[in-house]
Each structure stands twice: as structure tokens, then as C-alpha cells.
Amino acid sequence: MSIRFGGLRAVDNVSFSIEPHSITTIIGPNGAGKSTLFNLISGALRPLSGKVLIDGIDQTGAPPYCIQQAGVGRSFQITNLFFELPVAENLRLAAQVLEPAGKLWRPIAAGAESRARVSELLEQFDLAAKAHRSVAQLSHGEQRRLELAVALAGKPRLLMLDEPTQGMSHGETEDTALLIRTLAGKQPFSLSSMISASS
């Protein structure tokens, strides 16, 4: 896959495939094209050449909501939360993708699937006590946890995390690595160490 911005080849013939329950890491210095690659896969940008295949289906250039429905979730390098909204509302908005198509604008009461998912994530990420606080009132560690929960809300089968440990201490970085291994099914689910380090 390739893309150019004017004369700059930001992504030049990058090709790889990802297996279920695996962790794939993209490494490169600032400006190498990592975030651009994520934008190409998630549908924010359309490649100049090449294809994005998800479960063998060509999704090249499909809009982000289609890529999301195909099972791809992502977090952003820059925090992508609604700071003035409550924690639970951030999760509910992200979980709406689980509702059958066409039901998004029904009353909130109709959103049974997304409500169940919100409760599940609040528990799993130990944010239940903060469900009705605004994101702005959370600690940095809690915000990072919520970001992951938001990225997972739509039950993605491919989760893309853009520099998930940026700005974290050594301890928080280790805990996040453990969490990522857990999410990939390589470790039983446990958030206890992450919570002790970051809150």
C-alpha cells in the first residue's frame, strides 16, 4: 500500500498480514508514516495504490464506519475522548456500532446491546465508580484506560493502537503491555496491576 502527500512518500509499498490473536508492532521514528498507515487501514485516507483486505474482503477506501463494522477498532495518538461528557456516555457513543443498522437514532432505551456493553466495559476497566463523572475529572491513567475501553466498545477483532504508551511512566508502560497481551488472548484478563500503577 502507498500514499503520497505532494512529493512526500509517506507510506511506500508497505505490505503485511495479521493473524488472529497475534500482536503486530509497527516501529519507526517520528514522521516514518505509522499514523498515516493507520489512517489508510481505518478508512480516514484512501491509498494511492494497494488494498486493505479485512477477512479477505476488499475494504480499500471504505468510509471509517464501514471499516469499523468490518471489525476494526482504533485509538488515536491524540486523545479522542469527549472531555465534557460523562465516562458512560463516551462508551455508549462508541458502543452504538453494535446496534442493528437503522436503529441508531431510536431512543436511548432501545439501545439494549450498547447499554450492556457499556456496563461490561465499566466493570472490566474499573471505571464503574466514575461512570457519571466527566472525562475531564479523570486522572491521566483513567483517561488512558477509558481510551482503550472506547476503542474496544464495538468488539473489534482488529484493534489498532497508535503509540499507546506515549507519555506514560515506565510502570504504566509495562502495565499497558500486559493489558495488550491480555486483549490479544495471550494472558488471562487482569487489570489489577495496571490500576495499582496508574490511579
Ligand X SMILES: Nc1ncnc2c1ncn2[C@@H]1O[C@H](COP(=O)(O)OP(=O)(O)O)[C@@H](O)[C@H]1O
**Can you give the binding site for Mg ion, defined by CB under 5 A?**
34-35, 77
Least distance to Mg ion from the beta carbon of 160, Å?
12
Indicate the residue among 34 and 74 with the shorter CB distance to Mg ion: 34
Q: Which of 20, 28, 102, 107 binds ligand X (CB under 6 A)?
A: 28
Instruction: Select the residue interacting with ligand X from 10, 91, 168, 183 (CB under 6 A).
Output: 10
Going by their DSSP bridges, the two strands 158-160 and 72-74 should be labelled as: parallel
What is the total count of residues that contact ligand X (CB under 6 A)? 11
The residue range among 28-36, 89-97, 102-110, 167-175 that interacts with ligand X, by the rule CB under 6 A, is 28-36
Choose, by CB under 6 A, the member of 22, 24, 32, 104 that binds ligand X: 32
Q: Is 66 in the site for ligand X (CB under 6 A)?
A: no
| Distance (Å, whole) CA 107 – CA 93 | 13
- Rounded-to-5 percentages of helix, strand, coil across the chain: 40, 10, 50
* Tally of residues, the chain: 199
Residue that is written with C-alpha cell 466498545 in the block: 153
For ligand X, give the closer residue by CB, 8 or 104. Answer: 8
Among 21, 30, 56, 170, binds ligand X (CB under 6 A): 30
What is the spatial distance between Cα 43 and Cα 28, in angstroms, rounded to a whole number?
21
State the cell numbers at 118.
457499556
Strand partners for 57: 54
Strand partners, 72: 158
| Interaction of residue 35 with ligand X, rule CB under 6 A | yes
Q: Select from 26-34, 49-57, 111-119, 128-136 the region that touches ligand X (CB under 6 A).
A: 26-34
**Residue 93 parent element (H or E):** helix 87-95
